[in-house]
């Protein structure tokens, strides 16, 4: 049960360092991927026990890659790696189906231990991550994430930036009608009746940034 591991990170140096560390801990690294798409392909081809996946990667985001891997290959576990214990990213990763969550400055022993635990069916997180999780759970009554779609979020952000419907349409290369459709959907989801209320709610919910 040492575990066959696939590494997914866009930094070659980090991948090689991880490979050495894991192999020193008698964990077999069966492949390396440089982006989310490659991770998905290699996971299907190699069927590792665990994917050690960086959060931020080109082409396909680590969280999205995790979601797809867990969907198509439920027997493949995923451990997320990230620079900082960011609450919202962590929440997204866990909802995407990650079984482990590590911050990059943890020890190699900790990484190896987490890989073994996860390969054995357990879930595990760094101590830093555990602390963040408590904060997250305490402060978040419902699911705040995923209320509005990604496209709707873009529309909201542009509205918050001062754009009119026409300008949003221009920015996103879509018709004004589509913008209005997105807004209508947003109003329903956020229980708002106009752009002003929608933007205010979005600001309060942290969906958009201001200024």
Nearer to DNA, 119 or 179 (CB): 179
- Residues lying near DNA in the complex (CB under 7 A) are found at 71, 149-152, 164-166, 169, 172, 174-178, 180-185, 187, 193-196
Q: Is 18 exposed, middle or buried (0-12, 13-18, 19+ CB in 10 A)?
A: buried
Instruction: Work out whether 169 is an interface residue with a second copy (CB under 8 A).
Output: no
Nearer to DNA, 6 or 168 (CB): 168
Give which of 26, 40, 30 is closest to 7, Cα–Cα: 30
Nearer to DNA, 115 or 183 (CB): 183
Pick what 160 binds: DNA, a second copy, none; C-beta below 5 to 8 Å, kind-dependent: a second copy
> Scanning the structure block, which residue is given the tokens 């590590």?
102
State the nearest-atom distance from the C-beta of 156 to DNA, in Å. 11
Beta strands in 77-181 (DSSP E): 77-82, 100-103, 124-125
Query: Rounded to a whole number, what is the distance in angstroms from the first to the last CA of the chain?
Result: 51
Nearer to a second copy, 22 or 190 (CB): 190
Q: Enter the DSSP assignment of 54.
A: E
Instruction: Work out whether 147 is an interface residue with a second copy (CB under 8 A).
Output: no
Q: Is 171 exposed, middle or buried (0-12, 13-18, 19+ CB in 10 A)?
A: middle
Instruction: Work out whether 210 is an interface residue with a second copy (CB under 8 A).
Output: yes
> Quick one: tokens of 105?
């400055």
Residues near a second copy (CB under 8 A) are 159-160, 162, 164, 192-197, 199-200, 203-204, 210-211
């Amino acid at each position: 049960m040492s575990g066959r591991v696939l590494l997914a990170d866009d930094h070659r140096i980090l991948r090689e360092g991880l490979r050495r560390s894991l192999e020193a801990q008698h964990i077999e690294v069966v492949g390396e991927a440089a982006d989310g798409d490659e991770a998905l392909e290699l996971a299907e081809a190699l069927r590792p026990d665990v994917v050690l996946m960086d959060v931020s990667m080109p082409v396909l985001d680590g969280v999205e890659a995790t979601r797809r891997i867990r969907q198509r290959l439920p027997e493949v576990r995923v451990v997320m790696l990230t620079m900082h214990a960011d609450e919202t990213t962590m929440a997204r990763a866990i909802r995407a189906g990650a079984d482990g969550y590590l911050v990059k400055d943890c020890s190699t022993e900790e990484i190896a231990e987490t890989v073994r635990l996860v390969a054995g069916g357990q879930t595990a997180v760094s101590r830093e991550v555990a602390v963040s999780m408590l904060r997250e759970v305490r402060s978040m009554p419902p699911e705040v994430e995923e209320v509005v779609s990604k496209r709707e979020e873009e529309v909201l952000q542009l509205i918050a930036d001062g754009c009119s419907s026409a300008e949003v349409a221009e920015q996103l290369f879509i018709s004004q009608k589509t913008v209005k459709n997105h807004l209508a959907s947003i109003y329903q989801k956020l229980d708002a009746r106009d752009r002003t209320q929608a933007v205010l709610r979005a600001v309060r919910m942290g969906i958009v940034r201001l200024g």
